[in-house]
Amino acid sequence: MEDHDIDEEEFEFSRNYFLAKESGKSGKKSARKISEIDLVDEQDLRAEVSNIEPKHEKEIASLINSYKSLYNEWVFELRYGFGLLMYGFGSKKTLLEDFASTALTEYNVIVVNGYLQSINLKQVAMAMAEVLWDQLKMQPRSTSGGLLKDQQPFNSRSMADLIAFLDGPHAAEDECLVCLLVHNIDGPGLRDSETQHLLARIAACSHVRIVASIDHVNAPLLWDKKMVHVEFNWCWHHVPTFAPYMIEGVFHPLILAHGGTSQSVKTASIVLQSLTPNAQSVFKMRRHSDGQDCLYIPLSKDALEKLLLD
C-alpha cells in the first residue's frame, strides 16, 4: 500500500467520525422512548428469540463449507508455529469444531468456551498437561522417563509449574503437541489483562499450538507486541460465517426485555447446569423473608469464618 493511500484512509476514517458526531447534534434529537413500543410479554419474547426462523440457511452452510478447502493451509501454519486467529461476522463455533475434528488429527485438542462468563484457566492448563503427559508416555525415546519418578499430580501443581511442563524439552516439538482451541478469546470471561497474559504464556509453550476466534472489533487491544508477535504469533484469517450467535448471545440481556430478573434467572440456571451433580447438591433452596425463593449453601459458622479469611 502506498504512503498516500494510507494517509487517505486515516483521513477518511476521522472525517466520518466527525460527520457522525455532527449529524447527531445538528438534527432534532428524537425523544421517543422504548416504553412507547407495544412490547410483548418477556416470556413470549424469550420464547420467540429461541424460535427465530433462520434465514439464508443454505447460503450460510455453503459459506462455511467453502472454508474446508483452507483447512490444510491452516494446519500447515500451525505446524510452523503460528497461532490461528479467526475473525469475521458470525458465529465461528461450528466452523472451528469441524476444523478441529477433521483436520487436527496430529494433535490433542482442548476446547475452551470463552463466551462463558468465567473460565478457570488453571483447569485448562491441568487438562493440557494431563493430555501432554499421556502423549509423552507413549513416546519410546522421550526424556519423560526421568520425570516420572518425581511426578506430582497435576492438580496439586502451581500454574507456573504447569506452564514449565508444557514448555519443557520433553520430546521433539512436532511429536507431542496439544492444540488449545479457544472460542471467543475476547469473550467476557477472558478479557482481563492477567488472563490474556496467562493465555499468551500458555500459547508460547513449545508443546502448545493455539487456534482462537474473536468477534469484537477492538479485540486487538487485548494484546501487546510481545503477545502478538512472539507468544500468540497470530496469523489472521477472515472467515465470516453469518451464522447466528446462538450460544454466544445467551448471557446478553435482551434490549426490549423488562428489567433483568428473567435474565438473572436464566443466567443462574445455566451456571447451575454447568456444575457436576455433587456440586449441585451443595445448594439448598429456601424462602427468603421477602417471600422470594433463593438458593443457599449451608455452612457452619467456623467454616464460613474460614472461607471469609481465605
Partner 1 sequence: MRGSTRQQRIKKSVGRTCRNVKVNLSSSLAASHEAEVVGDQLDENLRMKNFHNAWVKIESTIKDVLHNINADVFNEIDGWVHRSFGAICSSGKPDTNKATCSYPIVTDVTAKQIFTALVVMNNMEFVDDLQTFADLGIHLQSHGCHVANLSSVDFSAKNGIGGCLKSLSRQILKGSIDAADISILASWYMEQENSKRPVVVIVEDMDRCSGPVLSDFILMLSEWVIKIPVLLILGVATTLDAPKSILSSKAVQHLSPFKFFLGSPADRLDAIIEAVLVKPCSGFLLGHKVAAFIRNCFLRQDGTLTSLVRAVKMAIVQHFLMEPLSFIVKGLLDEEVTQSGEPTSLSEAWPKQALDLPSCMRILSEPKTEALLGGASKMKELLNLWSCVVLCLYDAGKNQKTTLLDLYYEALDPKLYNLRHTEYLESQPDSQRPSSTHGLHGQSFRNKGSLIGHTVRQVRDLPPAALFQLLEKWVKQTDGVKEMHEKVKELQLQEKFEDDNLKEPANRSRRQTIRNNGNLDKRTKELNQKAAALISCMARDHMQPIECIPFHEIVCFKNVDKLQAALLGDPRRRIQLDLLECHSFLKCSCCSKSCNVPISSMHDTTLMYTLAQEHGDLINLHDWYQSFRSIIFQRPVKERHRSKVSPSPKKRKTTTEPQNITEASVQARFCRAVTELQITGLLRMPSKRRPDYVQRVAFGL
**Three-state secondary structure of 74-139:** HHHHHHCCCEEEEECCCCCHHHHHHHHHHHCCCCEEEEEECCCCCCCHHHHHHHHHHHHHHHHHHC
Between residue 72 and residue 111, which ones bind partner 1 under the rule CB under 8 A? 72-73, 75-77, 79-80, 82, 85, 87-90, 100-106, 108-111
Which residues are CB-contacts of 238 (< 8 A; sequence separation ≥ 6)? Answer: 87, 88
Distance of CA 53 to the CA centre of its chain: 26
Residues 197-226 that bind partner 1 (CB under 8 A): 197, 214-220, 225-226
Contacts of 107 by beta carbon, 8 Å cutoff, 6+ apart: 78, 177, 178, 179, 209
| Smallest separation (angstroms) from partner 1 to the CB of 274 | 5
- Tell me: does residue 22 bind partner 1 (CB under 8 A): yes
Chosen residue from 25, 141, 286, 301 binding partner 1 by CB under 8 A: 25
Q: Is 152 in the site for partner 1 (CB under 8 A)?
A: yes
242: contact with partner 1 by CB under 8 A: yes
Nearest distance from C-beta of residue 129 to partner 1, angstroms: 12
* Continuous segment of H or E residues that includes residue 71: helix 71-79
Find the binding residues for partner 1 in span 269-308 (CB under 8 A): 274-276, 279
**Residue numbers 31-50 binding partner 1 by CB under 8 A:** 32-34, 36-40, 44-45, 48-49
Least Å distance, CB 286 to partner 1, is 26
In the chain, the amino acid numbered 176 is: C
The CB-of-78 to partner 1 minimum distance in angstroms stands at: 10
Q: Which region among 136-144, 254-262, 285-293, 301-309 touches partner 1 (by CB under 8 A)?
A: 254-262
| x-or-dash string of contact with partner 1, 177-196, rule CB under 8 A | -----------------x--
Indicate the residue among 151 and 305 with the shorter CB distance to partner 1: 151
Count other Cβ atoms within 10 Å, centred on residue 241: 20
For the bound state, the minimum distance from the C-beta of residue 255 to partner 1, rounded and expressed in Å, comes to: 5
Q: Which is nearer to partner 1, 19 or 304 (CB)?
A: 19
Nearest to 213 by CA among 113, 103, 74: 113
Task: Round to whole Å and give the CA distance between 185 and 173.
Answer: 25
C-beta separation of 180 from 208 below 8 A? yes
